[in-house]
Amino acid sequence: MQKLLLLGDEAIAQGAIDAGLSGIYAYPGTPSTEITEYVMHSKEAKSGKVVASWGANEKTAMEAALGMSYAGKRAMVCMKHVGLNVAADAFVNSAITGANGGLVVVAADDPSMHSSQNEQDSRFYGKFALIPILEPGNQQEAYDMVHYGFDLSEKYGIPVMLRITTRLAHSRSGVALKESRVQNEIRLPENLRQFILLPANARRQYKHLLTNQAAFISASGASPFNKLTDHKDKSIGIIACGLAYNYLVENFPGHEVPHPVLRIGQYPLPEKMVRDLYDSCDSLLVLEDGYPLVEELIRGFLNNGKPVRGRLDGTVPRDGELNPNIVARALGLADTRGRDIPAIVSSRPPSLCKGCPHIYSYNALNEALASLSKGRVFSDIGCYTLGALEPFDAINSCVDMGASITMAKGAADAGLVPAVAVIGDSTFTHSGMTGLLDAVISKSPITVMILDNATTAMTGGQNSAAVGKIEDICLAIGVEKEHIRILNPLQKHHEENLRIMMEEIAYPGVSVVIPRRECIQTAARRLREEKKKQETSKAEA
| pLDDT, block means (10 residues), the chain with 541 residues | 94 98 96 97 97 96 97 97 96 97 98 92 97 98 98 98 97 96 96 93 96 97 97 96 96 95 98 94 96 92 82 95 95 85 77 94 97 96 93 95 96 96 97 97 97 92 92 98 97 97 98 97 92 88 78
DSSP per-residue letters across 208-274: HHHHTHHHHHHHHHT-TT-EEE--S-TT-EEEEETTHHHHHHTTSGGG--SS-EEEE-EES--HHHH
Q: How far apart are CA 34 and CA 12, in angstroms?
A: 10
Q: What is the pLDDT of residue 299?
A: 86
Given the candidates 1.20.1740.10, 3.40.50.920, 1.10.8.60, 3.40.50.280, the CATH classification of the domain at 227-331 is 3.40.50.920
Residue 408 makes CB contacts below 8 A (sequence gap 6+) with: 378, 419, 420, 421, 439, 444, 446, 448
CATH assignment, 357-523 = 3.40.50.970
Q: What is the pLDDT of residue 301?
A: 67
- The strand pairing partners of 511, in sequence order, are 447
Phi, psi torsion values for 58, nearest 5 degrees: -70, -30
Helices then strands, counting H and E runs in the chain, come out as 21, 19
CATH assignment, 3-188+197-222 = 3.40.50.970
Q: How many CB atoms lie within 10 A of CB 305?
A: 5
Answer yes or no: are the C-beta atoms of 225 and 141 closer than 8 Å: yes
Q: How far apart are CA 480 and CA 418, in angstroms?
A: 18
Q: What is the pLDDT of residue 343?
A: 79
Full-prediction pTM beyond 0.85?
Answer: yes
Answer yes or no: are the C-beta atoms of 359 and 391 closer than 8 Å: no
Q: What is the pLDDT of residue 109?
A: 97
Which residue ranges does the chain devote to CATH 3.40.50.920?
Answer: 227-331
Which residue ranges does the chain devote to CATH 3.40.50.970?
Answer: 3-188+197-222, 357-523
Q: What is the pLDDT of residue 9?
A: 98
Residue 83 makes CB contacts below 8 A (sequence gap 6+) with: 27, 29, 32, 57, 58, 107
